[in-house]
Amino acid sequence: MKKRDFKKILSKVFLGIFSWMVLGSFQMYSQELSITGTVMDEMNTPMFGANVLIKGTNKGVVADFDGNFSLLADVGDVLVITYTGYTGKEVAVANDSPLNVQLEPDSQQLEEVVVIGYGTRRKGSLTSAVATVDNNYLDQQPVSNVSKALQGSASGVTTISASTPGGDAEVRIRGMGTINNNGPLWVVDGVQGAQAPPPGQIESIQILKDASSTAIYGARGANGVILVTTKSGKKNQAVRIDMTVKTGMSFSNAKYDLMTDPQLLGELLWLELGNDGLPQAHTHYGDGATPVLNEYLYPNGGVSGSSSVNLALYDQQSYPITKANPQGTDWLDEIYQHGLLQDYNLSVTGGSEKTSYSFQGGFLEENGILKNTSYNRISFRSNVDSKPFEWLNIGQRLGVTYGETKGWGGNNSHNNLFNQIYLASPLIPVEDEGGNWAGGVVGGSIYDGPNPVGYLDRLKNNSNKEYNITGNVYAAIEPLKNVTIKTLLGYDVELSNVFSPTFAAWEQTNGARGTTVNESSANASRWNWTNTLNYKKTFGEDHNLDFLFGVEASRQTYRFISASRQDYFSDDINFLVLDAGASNQLNNGNGFASSLYSYFSRLNYDYAQKYMLDLTVRRDGSSRFGESNRYGVFPAASLGWVVSKENFLSAAEDWLSYFKIRASWGQSGNDQIGNYNNFTTFSSDPGASFYAISGTDNNISLGYQSQNLGNPNAKWETTTSTNIAFDATIFNKFDLSVDFWKKDTEDMLFSVAIPQVVGDIVEPSVNIGSMSNKGIDISLSYRTSAWDDWFKFTASGTFTAYKNEVTKLSNNENEFLQGFPTRQQIYTRTEAGRSFPEYYGYIVDGIFQTQEQVDAHPDNGDYNQLGNLIIRDVDGSGDITPEDRTYIGNPHPDFTTGLRLGMQFGNVDFSATLYASVGNDLANYTNRFIRYGLFNGPNSEDRLYESWGSPYLENNGDATLPKVSTSTSFEQNASTEYIEDGSFLRVQNLQIGYTFPEKLVEDLNLKHLQLYLQGANLFTFTKYSGLDPEITAKRENGVTQEIDRGVDVGTWPISKQIMLGLNISL
């Protein structure tokens, strides 16, 4: 078959995708010449990776390691040569003589190519709000998950870092758009919803922030879009091998304000008993005038040499002989460890005239700061692009990752490990006299929980194994000049297996007394098939047109099963399989599926790169809605004006190098409401009768119960966004971007209460709510050099501020939404006119100092006493009631900011990254135990030294805490006593490196060699009293509870890290 015939056949195959389009016969290109050339910088250094593009087309190549390029072009074509950070050049093709092109530095970076939805755009032509994070920044960040690297790197993005090994951060773009799912859409190489690859495999990240940029993703773009582009090879490049090695350790010295001295703990206990008018006596301290700690906790009062502590009597289950720890046990010290960090990456890239490739592999070992916790990851990626014919491009992206989390991995949830830390008594040693874990069974009402070290040890075999395959295959043809038709099939498969054995906790009063095995498996898959037609042409010299039309189908499915057994004959891990359990066989499972079908189009026009217009529209159909509301249409428009190109600003060109005004408006949707909201569903339970099928209720029989009440009339949440911005370059050194934005969400889906007569049923989601966010994003950068570039300095900063308000929850003006209860207390709430969420509780106005104050204060039962808290009568009723609760704090920061600094002195480089969150409040739930004595844990030293009535206080007016008591009461209610300033400044990264001289590197047959020392999160400045001021809303079950944002139930502290790294290129 002739090449020409094959081309016609393949074109017809592609055109069949667009059955509504008719294309004429395509033309053959004429007068094509083989053009070669070299691209150099201002120092005559070859510019590896420079882009060479035929103007008005998608045809182009990339310069090789020596700056050389070669491509076919017609006489009269114009070559556009660009490189990030340099001013581009245009060169007309007159003949086939070699071209020598030299580029000059450009602080404006306007020629940089930016990835946008379903395409690319020159940065200078952008009219929407798009932030870029490049691989130079990512490569410097000591993170295992790319979401952590986004903190402070882009304006408009707020991030709460994950502290668990391998954990991902919470990313929010421009505030909170809904009371439902606020997470952005991740798109990896065109695969929507895919898991982000390891940071070392990423070329660049683009963050789409306004509706003009996100509307092209329609139903899934309301919360912003993060586009991830992985590293590819370069055509005409010799084989290049890059290796990076990092090794070091992680650690933490974060502490609660806990009392660990047993003598001080005894004094506190005597003070509590004295305040309550009770006899000053305790099982472990005797009944003297001062507390004296017994030598043995079990048997109570035992002393060395007595028959009761004869080790021959020891039995772990019935007679756990345990000495008291006279020095006191610091349980946080006992569970902390110095964790080993290792990160190895290998990359092989290269390319011929027609094909480029990139193969990458990596291994990560991240041991946590807590004993027996770790995360390991093995990853591989293959990216291949080929252009077998001038009119055909084909390629594939494939990423394979295996990750395993071992040990305890929970975070910020009630009854987690950190709850045990501030409950565990310092009197208890780590081990009893038999060498087993010591714990609450020693008696004395000091603690009934497990041994924290033993808890971690029993969970060391817990594992969560995850397998992920992400990738795409694509093909693109050019049947006509300036026309490209592309089809892309993206896929993402995630498989997981969770193994959770539970062993007997004999040291715990109510602990497990046998072995249980829980095992679960889940598989999730998603695919999207995207077909686009792109027409791109320059008319004359100044009219640039770019038109895109596409059709897309996507589907995701999920299946989950779990099972458990009890009573195992052995605790050997090799025998802990489900079949070996003798009793309590349980199993369950669930699954879902959802689909989208979409049309989208975008038109971009600019005149002389001065006036710009961008129009976008997308129509989505979602299976999550009923038939009458299945489709939604999401339009957007944006304008840009490069004012600095106008003659009337020529007088300012000496200092105002560039100035552009941007404005955009658009809508995007949200269908994240559950997959079957439009259906009423039922569930059955063998052994219980929800509905008497036989007509009577006398006998138990299999029946059905309404589980979810459906709402087929639910429709899309719609977010309307407006953005007004400007970009400026000043003195050709400062780059400034400022965006003023507002986004309003209408038809917010909200679960409304239904009459109890309906029964035990999950309420449907209905469209009755609305929310508003407004804010400002600022980014500023500066770059300079001196002494022939021997010294270089860069600085860049971001600033993000927003205000969030719920404008409507339902048609009931008194409707409110509150958080989840934790030990019978709820800390958050929202309603119309308030942020989502805010803290809610009583206002404390001090401590009663005189009886006159007590007598004059509104009634609060028996609580109004000298030394107790003064609770404000907010409603003025004369009584303290739940109606006196009000809004007492806000978890949203006034602003967040990031700062990056970089310096280079010859071959020595230094960089620093800082991040700050200012003005946000946190609700410190842990103070219920530490400062207010719920249960007999170690408590804060402040309870002894700074409480009203303390013998250590000269004046009760100086007390910061109310009088202590053995039985806390009103202090346990949510109040301003638990609200703290959560502002912080963190030094995220410090790095110093040395790049070996070129001559030495060449003698070693290398291309590049760098050694560096790096420190992460070494310094955090904050007034917050918890372990860490970054509080995730994700709970131990993996569910993010936005309504409880900022409530610290016990969170992992961010680990400090010190690493040594080596970069080698061959």
Q: pLDDT of 434-448, one tens digit each?
A: 999 998 888 777 777
**What is the CA angle 822-826-831, rounded to 5?**
145
pLDDT of residue 1038: 58
For residues 445 and 239, give the distance between their C-alpha atoms in angstroms, rounded to a whole number: 69
Q: Which of 127-141, 344-358, 576-590 has the highest mean pLDDT?
A: 344-358
Looking at 2.60.40.1120, 2.20.25.90, 3.30.70.980, 2.30.30.220, the CATH number of the domain 31-105 comes to 2.60.40.1120
In this predicted model, which residue has the larger pLDDT, 575 or 1037? Answer: 575
pLDDT score at 690: 47
pLDDT digits (tens, 9 = 90+) for 1007-1019: 899 999 999 999 9
Starting from the edge strand earliest in sequence, which strands make up the sheet with 1047-1048, in order?
979-981, 921-924, 1047-1048
What is the model's pLDDT at position 696?
54
pLDDT band at 11 (very low <50, low <70, confident <90, very high): very low
Average model confidence (pLDDT) for the chain? 88
Q: What is the Cα–Cα distance from 375 to 638, expressed in whole angstroms?
A: 44
Under CATH, which number does the domain 114-236 receive? 2.170.130.10
The pLDDT > 70 percentage for the chain reads 92
Cis status of the peptide bond prior to 837, with omega within 30 of 0: yes
Alpha carbon distance 1059, 43 (integer Å): 34
For the cut 80, the answer to whether the pLDDT of residue 601 exceeds it is yes
Please report, for the chain, the start and end positions of each structural domain, with discontinuous segments joined by +: 31-105, 114-236, 254-335+411-458
- pLDDT over 90 for what percent of the chain? 59
Most confident of 309-313, 417-421, 783-787: 309-313
Q: Which of 386, 620, 476, 387 is nearest to 17 (CA)?
A: 476
Q: Is 816 exposed, middle or buried (0-12, 13-18, 19+ CB in 10 A)?
A: middle
CA-to-CA distance for 117 and 757, rounded, in angstroms?
49
**208-222, 726-740, 743-757 — which is least confidently predicted?**
743-757
> What pLDDT is stored for residue 831 in this prediction?
92
For the chain, the farthest-separated pair of C-alpha atoms sits apart, in whole angstroms, at 107
Return the number of other C-beta atoms located less than 10 Å from residue 698's C-beta: 9
Task: Output DSSP code: residue 199.
Answer: G
